[in-house]
Every structure is written in C-alpha cells, then in structure tokens.
Amino acid sequence: MTTERILIVDDEETLCEVLKLNLENEGYDVDIAFSAEQALTYDLKSYSLILLDIMMGEISGIKMAKMLKSDVTTADIPIIFCTARDTEDDMIMGLNLGADDYIMKPYTVRNVIARVKSVLRRTSSHKNNVTSTEKSNILKVDGLHLDLEFKRCIIDGEEVKLARKEFELLAYLISHRGKICSREQILSRVWSDEVVVLDRTIDVNITRLRSKIGNYGSYIVTRSGFGYGFRD
C-alpha cells in the first residue's frame, strides 16, 4: 500500500516539527513548508492532504487554498485549515473555499491526528465510490485528460478549447490508443451524422488537433495508406 503523503504549511517551525514527528509515528510521509511561497515550489499534486495555516506571509492560507482549488491537478486534494482565526465567519469562509475541516489553535496533537484520519477516510471512500464513473467518463494520457461528460480537454492543468468534431476525434483515437484506425472507421464513428464527408476533412482536423494539444500532438501518428492512431 502506498504511504499517504501530508504537507504541513505553517510559519511556526516548532509546531510544524511536533506535528511532523507525531504524524510520521502514525505512518504518514510528512513534508513541511514554512510559507505558502515555499509550498508552491513543491509537487503539490503528490500529496494526499494539506494542513494549512491561514495567517502567513504575502500569500495567505486563504489565497493558497484558492490557487489549489482553481487548478484541476490539485483541486481534489483535501485541505484542513489550522489557524488562530477562530470566529464563526472565518470558519464558514474556510469551509466555503472547499476546505474539508477547520481546526482552531491552540489544539492538541491528538485532535489533529484524529481529524486527519477522518478526512482521509472520507476522501478515500469517496474516491472508491466514483472510480468506476471516472474510468468511464474520463480518458487520461499522462497530463492530457478528456472529460467525456462535460466535454472538456485539460492539458497539464489548463483547459484547451476544442471544436466538437476535434474533441470527438481525439476521444476516439485515445479510446483506441495503440491501434491504427482506418479512415472508414473514423468517418463512421466521428462523422456518422454527416451525409458526405471528404477524406481531407480528417486530415484537416488531425492537423488542428496536433496544433492545439501541444506536445501531445506527437502522440497522434499517421500510417500512410492505413489511417491514424494514438500511441501509448
């Protein structure tokens, strides 16, 4: 089983070290950042949970949380705010940002550990429940994600606008990756609602796709006389 990774972001160094020691004793892999600026240099998508202080330097915990939730690669990482801001309005604001829990300082280490375990159990259960749906609705190739339900193409965390036929063509090629699809197969699947479609139409859309999806354009291969494919 992969060890769950936790990132503590707080400018109180002694507190961070105490939390790190106790969480590691519970079997977690723990890193520390003493500012949001430092945390943003890490590979944030690799963490299972982030413990985040609100009152820090130029980039507050609130601002960092907004950045995390606005990025598709980190939006699903659970966040627990640990902060001395203890008013009800502060708590509501934190939870409305998408935080999974809100712990007020001063707190006991036992309380933090219990909250961490609770959030990780809850998010793990949710992931297990949606795994089959995600598999059927999202096509993934490295940093290229196609959301078939919402018709979105995400490349390395950024949405790329594709025309309808471009999206359907890319989805078809990815779903048959590792194989060469003939022009007839592509036309019957992607342009099934068209009365007359020229072979040149496929070529034009392939060219546009390669341009729009950047480095992943090289994944689309051409086999003269046979058709197109998407390599593994």
- What confidence tier does 134 reach under pLDDT thresholds 50, 70, 90? very low
Tokens for 37? 């600026």
d(CA 140, CA 155): 10
Q: What is the mean pLDDT of the chain?
A: 86
- What confidence tier does 225 reach under pLDDT thresholds 50, 70, 90? confident
pLDDT tens sequence across 26-39: 999 999 999 999 99
Answer whether residue 181 shows pLDDT above 50: yes
Spatial neighbors of 79 by CB under 8 A, at least 6 apart, are 49, 50, 52, 65, 68, 97, 98, 99, 100
Provide mean pLDDT across the span 19-30: 96
Q: What is the CA radius of gyration of the chain?
A: 23
pLDDT tens sequence across 26-79: 999 999 999 999 999 999 999 999 999 988 888 988 899 989 988 878 888 999
Assess contact for 58 and 33: CB atoms under 8 A: no
For 228, list phi and psi in degrees, rounded to 5.
Answer: -125, 160
- pLDDT at residue 56, rounded to an integer: 86
Answer whether residue 127 shows pLDDT above 80: no
pLDDT tens sequence across 105-125: 888 999 999 999 988 987 776
- pLDDT at residue 197, rounded to an integer: 60
Q: Indicate yes or no: pTM above 0.75.
A: no
pLDDT tens sequence across 147-174: 888 899 999 889 999 998 999 999 999 9
Considering only residues 58 and 1, tell me which one the structure prediction assigns the higher pLDDT. 58
DSSP string, 61-126: HHHHHHHHHHSTTTTTS-EEEEES--SHHHHHHHHHTT-SEEEESS--HHHHHHHHHHHHHHHHHH
- pLDDT at residue 5, rounded to an integer: 96
